[in-house]
């Protein structure tokens, strides 16, 4: 698998990353093992997780697998902090306490003394950004994290965090954002900021939450993400006429290239300027293998342009 630097840092990551959002939500421990060993076996290195994934199960399983199935040094381990589940639902807490308590819990579940990359999971208007960045600085200075970054930050938010961390001599190396042919907002601010400042973009939702695979062209399959209680809400707003038009363009391009729609959609995101890695969140081994096969596909310029135009 092709590899890239994470922004201008010295850290090398695989151009496709393994996401673990589905672990514990439709993916059991045995299937998680198969996903990880298959991913690493094809040359993948970047594994993305978080304390909230599967209610902690994703990190627990990953920690056990790194102990017995895959060598820890073969994986670039990325986790997040500053988001947790409370009695009333999601709690965003990127305070010093929230960041460091979350990180310590992750390290216990992951059975390691450090993560390679630690991201702030979400922006908060309630916590001073200076406090959040100071917590990231301490995570690095204490050895708990090798690199730090943010997730779901807009262009101005990541630029401000970059400036604060730069003054502390701790580089911000990544912003993880949703990016696909259906969700292109990151192109307006985040990708230009990444080019100007030198951090890498980690793209999630690269298949339009599964829509760009073409599986919803004839309705909602009963085994699909849109049919599940856990993920249906995240798809409802995307299943519209524009999504149908873009999906048809992806299917047409795939047919002409002799590839699959998933490969085409992934390749389009993976090769955008500024993107260091496109994250795969598979529920089945078939989905994972189909996504990994995109590593061998480079879209012709005219097809990239056509897809960009139809999805603009």
| Residues forming the active site | 53
* Count of residues making up the chain: 312
Enter the tokens of residue 10: 């010295």
Burial track 67-103 (b if 16+ CB lie within 10 A, e otherwise): eeebeeeebbbbbbbbbbeeeeeeebbbbeebbbebb
Name which of 272, 309, 306, 124 is nearest 186 in CA terms.
272
Distance CA 214, CA 100 (A): 41
Q: Which residues contact 26 (CB under 8 A, 6 or more apart)?
A: 228, 230, 283
């Amino acid at each position: 698998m092709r590899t890239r630097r994470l922004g201008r840092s010295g850290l090398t990551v695989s151009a496709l990353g393994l996401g673990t959002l589905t672990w514990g939500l439709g993916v059991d421990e045995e299937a998680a093992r198969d996903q990880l060993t298959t991913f690493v076996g094809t040359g993948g290195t970047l594994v993305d997780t978080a304390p909230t994934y599967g209610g902690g199960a994703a990190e627990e399983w990953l920690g056990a697998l790194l102990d017995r199935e895959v060598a820890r040094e073969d994986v670039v381990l990325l986790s997040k902090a500053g988001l947790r589940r409370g009695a009333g639902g999601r709690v965003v807490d990127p305070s010093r306490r929230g960041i460091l308590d979350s990180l310590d819990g992750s390290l216990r579940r992951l059975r390691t003394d450090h993560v390679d990359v630690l991201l702030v999971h979400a922006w908060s208007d309630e916590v001073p950004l200076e406090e959040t960045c100071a917590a990231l600085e301490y995570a690095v200075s204490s050895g708990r994290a090798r690199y730090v970054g943010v997730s779901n930050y807009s262009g101005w938010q990541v630029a401000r965090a970059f400036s604060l961390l730069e003054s502390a001599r701790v580089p911000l190396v990544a912003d993880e954002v949703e990016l696909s042919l259906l969700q292109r907002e990151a192109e307006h601010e985040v990708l230009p900021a990444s080019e100007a400042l030198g951090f890498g973009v980690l793209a999630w939702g690269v298949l339009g939450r599964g829509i760009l695979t073409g599986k919803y062209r004839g309705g909602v399959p009963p085994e699909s993400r849109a049919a599940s209680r856990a993920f249906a809400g995240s798809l409802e707003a995307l299943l519209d006429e524009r999504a149908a038009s873009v999906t048809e363009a992806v299917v047409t391009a795939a047919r002409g290239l002799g590839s699959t729609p998933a490969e085409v959609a992934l390749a389009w995101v993976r090769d955008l300027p500024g993107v260091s890695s496109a994250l795969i969140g598979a529920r089945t081994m078939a989905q994972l293998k189909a996504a990994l096969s995109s590593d061998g596909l480079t879209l012709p310029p005219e097809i990239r342009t056509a897809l960009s135009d139809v999805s603009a």
